[in-house]
Amino acid sequence: MNREELKIGIIGAGGWGTALATVLSENVREVLIWAKEVSVCAEINSYNTNSVFLPGVLLPEKIRATNHCYELEDSDLFVLTIPTQFIRKFFSEHRFQLGDKPVINGAKGIERKTLLLVSEILLDCAGISPDRHVILTGPSHAEEVARRMPTTVVCASENIILAKEVQNIFSNKSFRVYTSEDVVGCEIGGALKNVIAIAAGAVDGLGLGDNTKAALITRGLAEISRLGISMGANPLTFSGLSGLGDLIVTCNSRHSRNRSVGEQIGKGKSMAEITANMQSVAEGVTTTESAYHLSQKHNVEMPIVEQMYFVINGQKKPPEALECLMNRQTKYEWWW
């Protein structure tokens, strides 16, 4: 693919979709974003801004927006950035025609009830085969990507040739892309780091220190690795950008919605109070439920995920969950 001649269709005009549009606008001929909200489309097209989902960023004039899915259908490839729990609904309601074109997924999550990863959802509801699917993931807050702060991510596909093409399409002076063939590992790392980030936020909300958060991140990575390996992932993936890298940034950043949710939980707010005031989705809330049930399905020990599941469902307060974690039976450290 000659990237300068490409038209890219982005499905979803949230912060991440809009940020990726700014990256791609430097490299390709045309970028068209589909937004559910008519007002968001109008603002992008009239003022080159998206104040609802990516405030304070002036968008390149090359980026256009539409409320009509069919206008994206002649794109050379598609970037999917709508939240995981709404992917199936989108394809059901819009009957979007993808043809046999590549789909790059930017969502991070596990579907509720079915416990499917995004690649599995796309195959199930849209017939997108593994050889034309790529996951783009890693430590990449939209607010920083859109402002051209140096960022590195990884794109993974069973089709390594396609992954390398996507690497070329997205890479530029502020956005560096690595490749991988470990789709499962990258998806598990990207999804479960949001659960651990909620726990990290609760640590902040409780006023605990650096020791506590370091322990949480390290043992959280152990849990993510255990589940991923049990599902066929490469253990090395979890020491990379989609594992440790994404976990560090999401657990510590002021931009992280999941960490923010956890902080409010730690300060005593209920989930109903927290979600009532949220403009954007925090994927980790629903992923916590899915991850808990997935750990039961695969018989994998995930105590942090388990305790966060109880906290989010209102069965425990954060101090109780912390006490349970600290008083567990002592263990050998290595988990592989």
Please state whether beta strands 133-137 and 103-105 pair in parallel, antiparallel, or not at all (unpaired): parallel
Cα–Cα distance for residue pair 254/63, rounded to 1 Å: 27
Which residues are within 8 A (CB) of 100 and not within 5 positions of it... i.e. 6 or more apart? 132
Which residues are within 8 A (CB) of 166 and not within 5 positions of it... i.e. 6 or more apart? 77, 102, 104, 134, 136, 155, 157, 177
Write out pLDDT tens, residues 287-299. Answer: 999 999 999 999 9
Which residues are within 8 A (CB) of 129 and not within 5 positions of it... i.e. 6 or more apart? 123
pLDDT given for residue 280 in this prediction: 66
pLDDT given for residue 279 in this prediction: 65
193 is catalytic: yes
Of the residues 89, 101, 108, 193, only one is catalytic, namely 193
Overall size of the chain counted in residues: 336
SS3 labels along the chain = CCHHHCEEEEECCCHHHHHHHHHHHCCCCEEEEECCCHHHHHHHHHHCCECCCECCCCCCCCEEEECCHHHHCCCCEEEECCCHHHHHHHHHHHCCCCCCCCEEECCCCECCCCCCEHHHHHHHHHCCCHHHEEEEECCCCHHHHCCCCCEEEEEECCCHHHHHHHHHHHCECCEEEEEECCHHHHHHHHHHHHHHHHHHHHHHHCCCCHHHHHHHHHHHHHHHHHHHHHCCCCHHHHHCHHHHHHHHHHHHCCCCHHHHHHHHHHCCCCHHHHHHCCCCCCHHHHHHHHHHHHHHHCCCCCHHHHHHHHHHCCCCCHHHHHHHHHCCCCCCCCCC
Instruction: Give me the domains of the chain, ranges plus CATH numbers.
Output: 3-181 (3.40.50.720), 184-326 (1.10.1040.10)
Please give the model's pTM, rounded to 2 decimal places: 0.95
Cα–Cα distance for residue pair 219/305, rounded to 1 Å: 11
Decide if 189 contacts 228 (C-beta within 8 A): yes
The distance of Cα 86 from the centroid of its chain, to the nearest Å, equals 13
pLDDT given for residue 200 in this prediction: 97
The distance of Cα 290 from the centroid of its chain, to the nearest Å, equals 15
Please state whether beta strands 151-156 and 133-137 pair in parallel, antiparallel, or not at all (unpaired): antiparallel
Low-confidence ranges of the chain (pLDDT < 50): none
Cα–Cα distance for residue pair 238/34, rounded to 1 Å: 33
Cα–Cα distance for residue pair 317/266, rounded to 1 Å: 8
Write out pLDDT tens, residues 257-283. Answer: 999 999 999 999 988 888 877 766 678
